[in-house]
Chain A
């Protein structure tokens, strides 16, 4: 799976209390991959390149709908960061349907976590088609 991420795929959106990202992708799989990359950036900031790629994790998720699946997917990444100090900048494999996901990520222990993600919220969470791509704004409780 390509590591390339277009400049406009992940944007930080102003949010008074917490942290929000606007993510764009051509399809659900790409949207979820870029969202995962957004979480990695949020967790380690500019130290992303210092994260070793020596740990692999696989996961299978099912959810009520695509938004719920996105919350669960990013929630897993935040959970591994809190519990094990692990950050996953690389998505090696990802297949997403609106109700299920199968994926594999690669990363390692971050030298220092910049941010603690308490939770991924459902606040105004809706995956929409905008200008021929899928777009979603995700608010993280930090």
Chain B
């Protein structure tokens, strides 16, 4: 991809016309400013975006958010909507970590309240929340029990005392996507899941204690209970090996049937099946099961985070209770209704490294947020800011109710490992008052801030383009890495 292959439509929006390649069914659009555009041109992310514009049944355009970077199949930051019932669903367009997402927890504490015990709190979070490569948790489930998680999602956690009702109200889909079918999931997926509920995993997953640095929209911040100087907690993780296996199974299974549907694709990872085919329906039902597992996973981790606050702060502060602001997915395919060329249509919206961002008035939002729009949680890279945004009318009109999901990587993991020493990075972060609890120093180096784009710049683009609105900026004070 090179300049000249695309046009600038608005200050933050570019379009690659459908004429760019004969197999494109629709144009491809991406959001960027000048600097983010340059970064997007450095890897294959825009070529991957063009590839995603070839999917049968795609409507309007393939989209990418300003945190776009090279992934597999879809670019990360990609959004593709396919028409129901004959458009396709692509497991690779959701990704292996189905319903990887972010949860934001609020407290009634200020930085000053917690400062004396922050070290202890970071250590206790690390101790209580299982993390790292191959690390299982305390909860051991047999197949029948995991099937219950698949059907109930976060409600499974509620029924076992790991949640309060308000947590579920403030979770996308109330923590349970309807239509999950445990019989569409393989024995190996169940086996991988048996000790993984309530675990963080490794890679870029984390639990972070943040301080609200600045409020940009008091009207939207108020119903979320956010105030300057407030201590909040982010949890970033997904469906663990359970989701990875479900995606693996269906990517493999679809390879065998794609010819039956006469679908030609530029990349085998984009493999797909019509939504109204038996294979498409099976994947959708299995994917929903993984999504529900992920909601339950973040819910159990919330319980463990609450326990950590109690362990460290009970009797030391007036109110150490933790409430849930919101929980959102950023790897998911969902059946939603949107307007396309003036017509309401039922669509399957694939978001891979992109966040749902429904605007004000959406009936699926909890009552507390219906007037302000859906909270959008955007974690930055380690040691940098994170953001709370809300969805807008603009996101509904431009992006099928979607916006960015993070900062977006810019440096490969192998290069980050060569250029950054984990121990030095930890020292640097600690020097800035950020407590770091990491399972692996090599893993820490791969997630170094310089491996990512500037999240503030990404946010300026989505805010400027009107596909989300700034509410609050968070800065980290403690991070637990997988």
Residues of A whose CB lies within 8 Å of any CB of B are: 12, 14-19, 45, 63-65, 67-68, 71-72, 75, 79, 81-83, 85, 112-116, 118-125, 139, 141-142
Interface of A is mostly: loop
Chain B nearest CB, measured from A119 CB (Å): 4
Q: Are A16 and B134 in contact (CB under 8 A)?
A: no
* Chain A residues within an 8 Å CB radius of B241: 82, 118
C-alpha spacing A138/B410, complex, angstroms: 20
Q: How far is the CA of A29 from the CA of B202 in the complex (A)?
A: 32
Binary interface encoding of chain B residues 236-262 relative to chain A, with 1 for a CB under 8 A from any of its CBs, else 0: 000001001001100110011000000
* Residues in B neighbouring A116, C-beta threshold 8 A: 133-134, 201-203
- Which of B96, B133, B191 contacts A141 (CB under 8 A)? B96
Residues in B243-285 with C-beta less than 8 Å from chain A: 244, 247-248, 251-252, 255-256, 267-269, 271
Contact A17 B95 (CB under 8 A): no
Distance (Å) between the CB of B276 and the closest chain A CB?
23
Tell me which residues across on chain B come within 8 A of A124, comparing CB atoms.
Answer: 267-269
Closest beta carbon of chain B to A13's beta carbon, Å:
8
Rank and list the top 9 A-B pairs by shortest CB-CB distance, nearest first. Answer: A123-B72, A122-B268, A16-B70, A123-B269, A113-B133, A119-B96, A14-B412, A121-B72, A116-B133
A64 nearest CB neighbor, chain B only: B256
Bound CA span A120–B251, Å: 10
Cα A79 to Cα B247 with chains together (Å): 14
Q: A16 and B410 in contact (CB under 8 A), knowing A122-B269, A122-B271, A139-B72?
A: yes
Q: Which residues of B contact A81 (CB under 8 A)?
A: 134
How far does the Cβ of B318 sit from chain A's closest Cβ, in whole Å?
A: 40
Q: B182 near A: Cβ within 8 Å?
A: no
Q: B residues within 8 Å of A by Cβ?
A: 43, 45, 69-73, 76, 92, 95-97, 133-134, 188, 191-192, 201-203, 241, 244, 247-248, 251-252, 255-256, 267-269, 271, 409-415, 440, 442-443
- B251 CB to closest chain A CB, in angstroms? 6
Cβ contact within 8 Å between A17 and B192: no
- Are B410 and A123 touching (Cβ within 8 A)? no
Separation of A119 and B241 alpha carbons in the complex (Å)? 9
A123 with B134: CB separation less than 8 A: no
Given contacts A119-B96, A121-B269, A141-B95, contact A83 B72 (CB under 8 A): no
Complex CA distance for A65 and B251, rounded to whole angstroms = 14
Give 8 CB contacts A-B under 8 Å: A16-B43, A67-B268, A113-B134, A118-B97, A119-B96, A119-B247, A122-B268, A139-B72
B269 — which chain A residues lie within 8 A by C-beta? 121-125
A118 touches B440 (CB 8 A): no
* Complex contacts, A68 vs chain B, CB 8 Å: 252, 255
Bound CA–CA A142/B446 (angstroms):
11
Contact A16–B409 (Cβ < 8 Å): yes
CB pair A114 B73 closer than 8 Å: no
What residue in chain A is nearest B241 (Cβ atoms)?
A82
Are B412 and A16 in contact (CB-based, < 8 A)?
Answer: yes
Beyond A14-B414, A85-B134, A116-B133, 17 additional contacts (C-beta under 8 Å) are A15-B414, A16-B43, A16-B69, A16-B409, A45-B442, A65-B255, A82-B134, A83-B191, A114-B440, A116-B134, A118-B244, A119-B248, A122-B251, A122-B267, A123-B268, A123-B269, A141-B97
> Are B72 and A18 in contact (CB-based, < 8 A)?
yes
B238 vs chain A, min Cβ distance (A): 9
Given the complex, which residues of B lie within 8 Å of A121, measured CB to CB?
72-73, 92, 96, 251, 269
A83 and B43: CB pair below 8 A? Answer: no
Complex: A113 Cα to B132 Cα, angstroms = 9
Q: Which residues of B contact A112 (CB under 8 A)?
A: 133, 440
Q: Decide: A16 and B411 in contact? CB cutoff 8 A.
A: yes
Complex Cα spacing A81 to B432, Å? 36
Q: Can you name the residue of chain A whose Cβ is closest to the Cβ of B196?
A: A82
- Which A residues are in CB contact (< 8 Å) with B43? 16
Provide the bound-state CA to CA distance between A113 and B440, in Å. Answer: 9
Docked CA distance A40–B440 (Å): 18
Least Cβ–Cβ distance between A53 and chain B, in angstroms: 20
**B248: shortest Cβ distance to chain A, in Å?**
5
CA distance A14 to B451 in the complex (A): 13
- Cα(A30)–Cα(B255), bound, Å: 25
B252-A18 in contact (CB<8A): no
Could you say which residues of chain A place their CB within 8 Å of the CB of B69? 16-17
Asked if B96 contacts A118 (CB within 8 A), the reply is yes
CA distance A113 to B442 in the complex (A): 11
Q: How many whole Å from B242's CB to the nearest CB in chain A?
A: 11
A17 touches B96 (CB 8 A): no
A26 CB, nearest partner CB in chain B, Å: 24
The reply to whether A15 and B70 form a contact with Cβ atoms under 8 Å apart is: yes
A141 to B413, CA, bound (A): 12
